[in-house]
Amino acid sequence: MPARPIRVAIVGTGGIARVHAAALRSTAAVLAAAADVDAGRLAGFAHEHGLADTYTELGDLLREVRPDLVHICTPPHAHREQALTCLRAGASVLAEKPPVISLREFDELTAAEPAASTGPWFASVYQHRFGAAQRRLKALAAAGTLGRPLLALCHTTWFRDQAYFDVPWRGRWETEGGGPTMGHGIHQMDMLLDVLGDWAEVRAVARRQARRTRTEDVSLAHVTFASGAVASVVNSVLSPREESYLRFDFERASVEVTHLYGYTDRDWRITPAPGARVPGRLVPPGPAAPSGHRGQFGEVLACLAAGRRPPVTPEESRRTLSLVAAIYAAAFTGQPVTPADLKPGSPFYERMDGGQAPW
C-alpha cells in the first residue's frame, strides 16, 4: 500500500453507515466518499460527516475516487453485485452482515476474488469476534485449557415491532434473505462458530408467530459440531425482554456472556468445574477491547496496510452463512441437515427459503 492514509468509501448511507463513519474516525483512514441511490439520505450523511464527494452511482465513485476499501452498508440483496463491482475496480470490500443472501451468491463472489492474498479481497463485518474476551475464549478453547467443549447455548432473543418490518427490504427472502436467523441471531451464531468450529448436523423449527412478514420471526435449532459438542440456538424478534446470551460448557469450566448489541469484559463470566484449574477471568482487569465495529476496522485497516487478507475470512464467513442455511433447510424440510445437503443443486444453496417456505 502507498504511504498515504487508506481511503475508504461507504455505499449505503442509512443506519449502520453512521456507525461505520463514527468508528472510522478513530482510525488513521480517511472517509473519502459515499454513495447512495437516495440523494436526500446521501446529502444528509455528507453534511453530518463533512463529505464533499458523493455519488448516486457506485461505478462513478469507484472510477473517480479510486478508494482502497469500500464498506458495503446497503440492504443485503445489493451486496453481491456491489462487491463484484468493487473487486473488478480493484477495491477491497468490507460488507455488512449478512455478506450476501445465499450460499450460491457467496461462492460466486469469492470465485471472483483474485488469487493474490494482497487483494483486492472480500471480508465480512462480524464485529463481535473482535472483543478481547471473545478472542481470549477462542484462544483458551483452541489450546485445550478448558477441556473438551460439551454443550453450548446461543440465544438471540430480541424485539422488533411491526413498524420495523415496514421498511420495504426487511422481512423478505428476496431482499433480506430471511428473518431473525439471518438478520439478527447471525451475530451470536458467528461467535458460537468462532469458538466451536465446524458444525456437522442441524435440526430445527422456524415459525412466524406474530409479525406480518414473509419470513420467520422465531427459529430454534439443535446443532451438533464436528467436535461432538451440541448447541441449542434460538433466534427471535418477539422477545420483550431483549438479550443476547451465549454459554459454553467445557469439561473444566462454563463460560457465559450476557449482552445485547455489544459486550464489554464485564459481561463475561467463567465458572470453573469443581477442582479445575482454569483462569478466574477471561481478560485482565483494566481497559480492554469491547466488541464493536471499531475493533474490527482497526484490524482490517492494519491488514490492508500490510498487504494481508484480514479477518473475517471467506471460509469463516461462509461457515456462518451455511449454518443459517442449514437451520432454514432443516426447519422447512423437517429433516436433519448436514453440510453435504447444502451443496450446489440443493434448493437451500440457491435461496435461504429453498423456494419453499411454508408460509
Ligand X SMILES: NC(=O)c1ccc[n+]([C@@H]2O[C@H](COP(=O)([O-])OP(=O)(O)OC[C@H]3O[C@@H](n4cnc5c(N)ncnc54)[C@H](O)[C@@H]3O)[C@@H](O)[C@H]2O)c1
Q: Would you tell me which residues interact with ligand X (CB under 6 A)?
A: 11-17, 35-38, 41, 73-76, 78, 96-97, 125, 127, 167, 183
**How many Å apart are CA 281 and CA 69, to the nearest integer?**
37
Q: Of the two residues 16 and 200, which places its CB atom closer to ligand X in the complex?
A: 16
> 281 phi and psi, to 5 degrees?
-145, 160
Q: Are 219 and 185 in contact (CB under 8 A)?
A: yes
- Beta-carbon neighbour count of residue 241 at 10 Å? 6
Q: 3-state DSSP call for residue 16?
A: helix
State in angstroms the smallest separation of the CB of 72 from ligand X.
8
Q: Of the two residues 120 and 183, which places its CB atom closer to ligand X in the complex?
A: 183
- In this structure, which amino acid lies at residue 328? Y
Please give the angle made by the CA atoms of 297, 33 and 176, to the nearest 5 degrees: 65
Q: Are 15 and 22 in contact (CB under 8 A)?
A: no
Q: Of the two residues 252 and 319, which places its CB atom closer to ligand X in the complex?
A: 319
State in angstroms the smallest separation of the CB of 26 from ligand X.
17
State in angstroms the smallest separation of the CB of 151 from ligand X.
27
Q: 3-state DSSP call for residue 343?
A: coil
Helix H or strand E segment including 34: strand 30-35
Q: Of the two residues 20 and 252, which places its CB atom closer to ligand X in the complex?
A: 20
State in angstroms the smallest separation of the CB of 111 from ligand X.
22
State in angstroms the smallest separation of the CB of 322 from ligand X.
18
Give which of 91, 122, 92 is closest to 108, Cα–Cα. Answer: 122
Q: Of the two residues 13 and 92, which places its CB atom closer to ligand X in the complex?
A: 13
State in angstroms the smallest separation of the CB of 359 from ligand X.
21
Q: Of the two residues 35 and 103, which places its CB atom closer to ligand X in the complex?
A: 35
Give, as one character, the DSSP assignment of residue 77.
G
Which grid cell is 138?
Answer: 477462542
Q: Of the two residues 12 and 295, which places its CB atom closer to ligand X in the complex?
A: 12
Give which of 261, 158, 176 is closest to 213, Cα–Cα. Answer: 176
The number of helix segments (H) and strand segments (E) in the chain equals: 12, 13
State in angstroms the smallest separation of the CB of 246 from ligand X.
16
Residue with the CB atom nearest ligand X in the bound state: 14
State in angstroms the smallest separation of the CB of 188 from ligand X.
11
- Beta-carbon neighbour count of residue 238 at 10 Å? 15
Q: Of the two residues 38 and 251, which places its CB atom closer to ligand X in the complex?
A: 38
Residue-wise DSSP of 160-213: --HHHHTSTTTT-TTTTSSSHHHHTTHHHHHHHHHHH--EEEEEEEEE--SS--
